[in-house]
Amino acid sequence: DDADDSKPEDWDKPEHIPDPDAKKPSDWDEEMDGEWEPPMIDNPEYKGEWKPKQIKNPVYKGSWIHPEIDNPEYAPDDELYIQQDIGAIGIDIWQVKAGTIFDNIIITDSVEEAKAFSEETFEKLKEVESEKKKAADEEERAKQEALAKEAAEKKDDAEEK
């Protein structure tokens, strides 16, 4: 803001003024209706809230650019990621449908260890779990078909009546 800028003396005009063309209604009863006041209209001379002019900051030096400096204490650590014992992990998943199961979790950087773990756990159960899933899906499909058939029969019975 310009510190030298000042508000003009004629700036403070009200936003609304009484309508000069309004006339008190002939049936106005001051005892019953109270003192008559003309309706308010927008003031054509109202200029809004006064704000000082915006000027450029004379001491502005531009965007600050931080200097890049070396850290003499920094030394790369090639084993930073290695963890000897992880006691627990947390998994945060948002889903609409229930039924997701997690088991046999492994965290490793060894492909051979991961493959061996997979053979011991996942591969042994994969076919059994797949067959159980198919059976459950088939049972659900049969249940839905029975419900649809029952609903169709009820509809036919209702139409016959």
What's the pTM value of the predicted model, to 2 decimals?
A: 0.35
> What is the rounded CA–CA span in Å between residue 150 and residue 132?
27
Which of the four pLDDT bands, split at 50, 70 and 90, describes residue 116? very high
Q: How far apart are the first and last CA of the chain?
A: 83
The answer to whether residue 99 scores a pLDDT higher than 80 is: no
What confidence score (pLDDT) does residue 49 get? 82
Which whole number is the average pLDDT over 122-147? 92
The answer to whether residue 13 scores a pLDDT higher than 90 is: no
Which whole number is the average pLDDT over 71-90? 86
